[in-house]
A and B are shown apart, each in its own frame.
Chain A
Amino acid sequence: MKDTYTVRVLKIDLTTEDVSLDEIGTSEALKFFGGRGLASCLLFRSTTKETDPFGEENPLIFAPGVLVGTCVPTAGRATVVSKSPATGMFMKCSMGGHWGAGLRHAGYDVLIVRGKASRPTLLTVTNTGVQFRNASTYWGLDVREATSKIEADLAIPEVDIACIGPAGERLSRIAAISCSYYHVAARGGLGAVMGSKNLKAIAVHGRVPVKVADPERFWAVSEQARTSVANTGRCKFYGEYGTAGVVVGANAMEALPTQNFRAGSVPDAYGISGQCLAEQNYLVRRESCMACSIMCKRYSATRNAYPGSEAGGPEYETLAALGSGCMLMDTDAVLKANELCNILGLDSISAGSVIQWAFECAERGVLPPEIDDGVGGRVSLKWGDAHAVHTLIEMIAYRRGLGDVLAEGVRRAAQTVGGDSWKWAVEAKGLEQSGVETRMAKAYALAFATNPRGPDHLYGQPMAEFGFSPEGRALVRRLAGDEKFANPIITDHKPKLVAWHEECFAMTDSLGLCSRATLSTYAITPAMMAEMLSAALGVEMTEDGMHEIARRVINLERAFNMREGARRRDDRLPWRVMNEVLPNSKGIRAINSEEELGKMLDEYYELRGWDRETGVPKASTLRDLGLDEVVTDLGLTATDS
């Protein structure tokens, strides 16, 4: 293969302050696309079962997608991978904003950070070099304070900064990495991995151009993608109302997680909706990540309470977790909670989840109804109590009082508190479930169960099953043979749907695009992505070729968890959604049962070429994908086929 594409991997050791560069050629890089796929491969190779997520040896790998820094719509995302302190397994996060493009302009495609600095450190990565700076004056500051101060101190125009807040510094397993202020790599506690390395922030800047092999061809496919985004109804909807716009529809479908997943709707969801934010002037302005023409990002401010509170978002997930989930339906109070998570560096999904769980613990007598806030005040653990939600977020970030327990995530918190509290800890694999009601959406149920991160929406996202849009229905028709399967409560053909979406997600992340364009709206197709790669890298890529690479990435990420000892038993959903029927008015017995999930898992494993009993990829499957090295690592023999 012609070497048109060289991936520059910057390797930094914080312990020794060694800096080195690896270059990976076209054929090796394209085996995994680059971006997320390549980062996952590098993570697999540089870790073992023994790697401690908080150990010096655990690498934190940042990889902007292959097309980041170009004019393809939504090409602004960077993947971050590491072994998760929440799950002890594979974790990939993806963040928007402008940081990923900044790293590419500094001249690098992948950044691997290892080791542990002896003092709080700020890394600067520019095209003129890497510097390790003393970050003691930033340690302890929240994300907004620290980022602002670093910007001022560095005085580099257009610098972009990825930063952790107090939650990451205190190794909260639900801590996020915030980049460009409000764009977060949120899930799985990667902020704590950064904290464990004494790494407060990474600033990037540079003036290295991003080149494409065939500019004219690239321009043509960019235009095609941009036109498709502009003409897709769901994209317009997200531009108008943001992801928050989904709240009202989810509530009407009785699929809006409410009161710690005990219900699927609230009497009136308007107050926590994107429509409310826009119509009642909470929305200060719309924003976009780098190169994005969807414009779903918001910047919002409170109006009637908490004066001066402003922040990026809120997103659908934040509103579900901290709003309906906590029964906090006051718009201003939810915006304040969103701001606190943003600036203290917490994953708002997980923060909302542990707070809901604490409220339920108090209601059921496992925790006292009122607790100390750790600084001389009291907090009532009561549904919908704004003071409690805000104070608990701070207590978690600073590990004060009960916050110290909650900062460990809901699985570990339940182990500490004991009793039956694990039953209402809505998690699997150690990750708090994101805001989709899987009892009302069977493809999502399967996707959540098989997701190597845990039960969340950012690995598969099979939104086509709802039949919301003509694009989604057309996809279901193509995959399942009939549009009637675009129905969330039936299980037929769902494994096929999930597999396609997981593969599309792997391409999306690896190219650095946003799932909002490729999955939830289907405006950008795998065929378009193949054309983008072809034009950018000077290789000829087909849609089928894209799916094959994506399968390789998925198998490798699966293998990571298998190496950790995960098996079919871990592909489960939280106890609550498998044992308690979701009340609804539609006459549907909404629950995820063992039988139903088991049948879908059988079909799904068959489709993937994984062992039905164990869920481990078969040696033949791995070899067919060129993953021979993984066969050995998993201890499989030639007969395991």
Chain B
Amino acid sequence: MQSRLLTETVRCVGCRLCEMACSLKHESEFAPWLSRIKVDRTPRTCLAVPSVCRHCADAPCVAACPVDAIKQSPASDVVYIDAVECIGCQQCLDACPYHCIVFDSSRGVALKCDLCNGDPVCARVCPSGAVAFAVSEDGE
């Protein structure tokens, strides 16, 4: 069984509720720059583009990590970072083609989406349907 967060740019209204819910859930404070989901805003044209980890089948971040701190769960395909093993080299940030890994400079670790153990808060708070959680039995 696979699960994914799907984003749809045309629906995104740029409210950033996803970023704030994510940072509260993972950091217990509101620090949207540490959110694992990112909304890129262009205020001039009111355009907002959400992006979040795809949990790629052949994840470039996993391959780039020199210490094997990034792992992919065999059961759920979720790509996650073991914060204890992360050495803060940021090679995963460079490797990710979607720029979906953030770096917490205060702790010196990379952070990424772990799908909140199957109940991602970003999808729950999104008011417009721009971020949705989808589970598929066959992995498609």
Contact of A293 among B23, B46, B127 (CB under 8 A): B127
| A535 shortest CB reach to chain B, Å | 12
Do the beta carbons of A219 and B44 come within 8 Å of each other? no
Do the beta carbons of A292 and B15 come within 8 Å of each other? yes
Do the beta carbons of B43 and A181 come within 8 Å of each other? yes
Do the beta carbons of A291 and B17 come within 8 Å of each other? yes
In the assembled complex, the Cα of A312 lies from the Cα of B41 at a distance in Å of: 14
| B85 shortest CB reach to chain A, Å | 25
Interface residue B133 (Cβ < 8 Å from any Cβ of A): no
| A 191-214 to B, binary, CB cutoff 8 A, 1 in contact else 0 | 000000000000000010111100
Do the beta carbons of A207 and B44 come within 8 Å of each other? no
Interface residues of B, CB < 8 Å — how many? 26
Interface residue B20 (Cβ < 8 Å from any Cβ of A): yes
> Assuming the A-B contacts A98-B41, A291-B20, are A299 and B15 also in contact, with contact meaning beta carbons closer than 8 angstroms in the complex?
no
Interface residue B24 (Cβ < 8 Å from any Cβ of A): yes
Closest B-chain residue to A70, C-beta based? Answer: B30
Closest A-chain residue to B31, C-beta based? Answer: A209
Q: Specify which of A160, A290, A294 lies most central, judged by the most chain B CB atoms within 10 Å of its CB.
A: A290
- Which residues of chain B (44-67) have a CB below 8 Å from chain A? 44-48
In the assembled complex, the Cα of A562 lies from the Cα of B43 at a distance in Å of: 40
In the assembled complex, which residues on chain A have CB atoms less than 8 Å from the CB atom of B44?
144, 147-148, 181
- Which residues of chain A (62-95) have a CB below 8 Å from chain B? 69-71, 73, 76
In the assembled complex, which residues on chain A have CB atoms less than 8 Å from the CB atom of B27?
209
- Which residues of chain B (1-25) have a CB below 8 Å from chain A? 10, 13-17, 20-21, 23-24
| B59 shortest CB reach to chain A, Å | 26
Instruction: Identify which of A52-60, A281-289, A488-496, A588-596 touches chain B.
Output: A281-289
- Which residues of chain B (21-39) have a CB below 8 Å from chain A? 21, 23-24, 27-31, 33
- Which residues of chain A (494-549) have a CB below 8 Å from chain B? none
| B87 shortest CB reach to chain A, Å | 23
Contact of B46 among A71, A144, A285, A290 (CB under 8 A): A285
In the assembled complex, the Cα of A239 lies from the Cα of B129 at a distance in Å of: 13
Interface residue A215 (Cβ < 8 Å from any Cβ of B): yes
In the assembled complex, the Cα of A521 lies from the Cα of B128 at a distance in Å of: 19
| A575 shortest CB reach to chain B, Å | 40
Do the beta carbons of B41 and A207 come within 8 Å of each other? no
Do the beta carbons of A291 and B15 come within 8 Å of each other? yes
| A361 shortest CB reach to chain B, Å | 37
Contact of B128 among A226, A229, A295 (CB under 8 A): A295
Interface residue B132 (Cβ < 8 Å from any Cβ of A): no
Do the beta carbons of A312 and B17 come within 8 Å of each other? no
In the assembled complex, the Cα of A373 lies from the Cα of B94 at a distance in Å of: 57
| B39 shortest CB reach to chain A, Å | 10
| B121 shortest CB reach to chain A, Å | 9
Contact of B17 among A158, A210, A286, A293 (CB under 8 A): A293
In the assembled complex, the Cα of A288 lies from the Cα of B47 at a distance in Å of: 10
> Assuming the A-B contacts A71-B30, A287-B13, A287-B14, are A215 and B46 also in contact, with contact meaning beta carbons closer than 8 angstroms in the complex?
no
In the assembled complex, which residues on chain B have CB atoms less than 8 Å from the CB atom of A557?
none
In the assembled complex, the Cα of A47 lies from the Cα of B46 at a distance in Å of: 38
Interface residue A310 (Cβ < 8 Å from any Cβ of B): yes
| B 112-134 to A, binary, CB cutoff 8 A, 1 in contact else 0 | 00000000000001011000000
Contact of A212 among B29, B43, B128 (CB under 8 A): B29
| B88 shortest CB reach to chain A, Å | 17
Interface residue A451 (Cβ < 8 Å from any Cβ of B): no
> Assuming the A-B contacts A211-B29, A286-B128, are A297 and B17 also in contact, with contact meaning beta carbons closer than 8 angstroms in the complex?
no
Do the beta carbons of B24 and A215 come within 8 Å of each other? yes
Interface residue A172 (Cβ < 8 Å from any Cβ of B): no
Do the beta carbons of A215 and B15 come within 8 Å of each other? no
Closest B-chain residue to A218, C-beta based? Answer: B24
Interface residue A40 (Cβ < 8 Å from any Cβ of B): no
- Which residues of chain A (209-242) have a CB below 8 Å from chain B? 209-212, 215, 218-219, 226, 229-230, 239
Do the beta carbons of B30 and A288 come within 8 Å of each other? no
Do the beta carbons of B41 and A158 come within 8 Å of each other? yes
User: A-B pairs with the 4 shortest C-beta distances?
Assistant: A293-B127, A288-B15, A299-B46, A209-B31
21 inter-chain pairs at a CB distance below 8 angstroms, sorted by A residue, are A70-B24, A71-B17, A71-B30, A71-B125, A98-B43, A144-B44, A147-B44, A181-B43, A207-B31, A209-B23, A212-B29, A229-B127, A285-B13, A285-B46, A286-B128, A287-B46, A288-B128, A289-B15, A291-B16, A293-B127, A295-B127
Known contacts A219-B24, A292-B13; 12 additional CB pairs below 8 A are: A70-B24, A71-B21, A158-B41, A182-B46, A209-B29, A212-B29, A288-B13, A292-B15, A292-B127, A293-B15, A295-B13, A312-B46
